[in-house]
Copies of this chain bind each other. A is one copy, B any other.
Amino acid sequence: MEMKLLEERIMRDGQVRPGNVLKVDCFLNHQLDVELLDQIGAEFYRIFKEDGINKILTIEASGIAIACMTARHFNVPVVFAKKAKSKNIDGDVYTSTVHSYTYGRDYDITLAQKFLGPQDRVLILDDFLANGKAMNGLLDICRQAGASVGGIGICIEKGFQPGGAEIRAEGYKLASLAIVESMGDNGEICFREPEF
């Protein structure tokens, strides 16, 4: 299924902000359009269903909804890396450090070791891919766990930032449903043709 649906939604409801920020908070990561997310999930299933996926990995909080709606189609568990330290995480965890443009600082992500291991072949999902810092943190956790990465699915890639190119160069199967080629000061958004 064409993901023109997501491009059209971005054109209709997305807002360009200074600093190359694309706000999609009214349908993707603050208010959630669950019907659109379900179609996104079906599209990720169409792209990755032959890749031997037995688990979906994401990061809180914006990735969770996407991961759940996709997991319904795959019928596999979701695990998500946590950003905040809580008293409730005991035992052994994988940890990686991420620099966040959104938060303007480094933060650690953690995943309980019991939830990821060499028997796992994951589909990593997230809402955005820009510089790739969060994604590199998730890939680092997969390496620590000995898990293989069957694919990476992104809703919106900022094609003018280096994360996507770097991940493709490393040989991962990366499918971005919408790739923003440029965002103008006048609010104009141009898309690149997606691969899948």
Pair A115/B26 contact, Cβ less than 8 Å: yes
A87 to B21, CA, bound (A): 10
- Closest residue on chain B to residue A79 by CB atoms: B31
Tell me the dominant secondary structure on chain A's binding face: mixed
Q: A31–B88 contact, CB under 8 A? A: no
**Is A17 interfacial (CB 8 A cutoff)?**
yes
A78 contacts the other chain (Cβ, under 8 Å)? yes
Give the number of chain A interface residues (Cβ < 8 Å): 43
| Chain B residues with CB under 8 A of A84 | 83-84, 103
Q: Is the Cβ of B112 less than 8 Å from the Cβ of A25?
A: yes
Interface segment, one of A69-77, A142-150, A156-164, A176-184 = A69-77
Q: Are A80 and B68 in contact, CB atoms less than 8 angstroms apart?
A: no
Residues of B within 8 A of A32 (CB): 64, 67-68, 71, 77-80
Closest CB of chain B to A99's CB: distance in Å?
Answer: 13
Report which A residues bind B (CB closer than 8 A): 17, 21, 23, 25-26, 30-35, 37-38, 60-61, 64-65, 67-69, 71-72, 75-80, 82-84, 86-88, 90, 101-104, 111-112, 114-115
- Distance in angstroms from A163 CB to nearest chain B CB is 17
**Are A30 and B112 interface neighbours, CB within 8 A?**
yes
Q: How far is the CB of A42 from chain B (nearest CB, A)?
A: 13
Shortest distance in angstroms between A60's beta carbon and chain B's nearest beta carbon? 4
Given known A61-B61, A64-B65, A115-B30, contact A86–B102 (CB-CB < 8 A): yes
| A65 with B78, Cβ < 8 A, contacts A25-B112, A38-B72, A87-B103 known | yes
Q: Which residues from chain B contact A61 at a C-beta distance below 8 Å?
A: 60-61, 64, 80, 82
28 residue pairs of the A-B complex, CB under 8 angstroms, read A25-B88, A25-B112, A26-B114, A30-B79, A30-B80, A30-B111, A31-B77, A31-B78, A31-B115, A32-B68, A32-B71, A32-B77, A32-B79, A34-B68, A34-B75, A34-B77, A38-B72, A60-B60, A60-B61, A61-B82, A64-B68, A65-B68, A65-B78, A84-B84, A86-B102, A86-B103, A87-B102, A87-B104
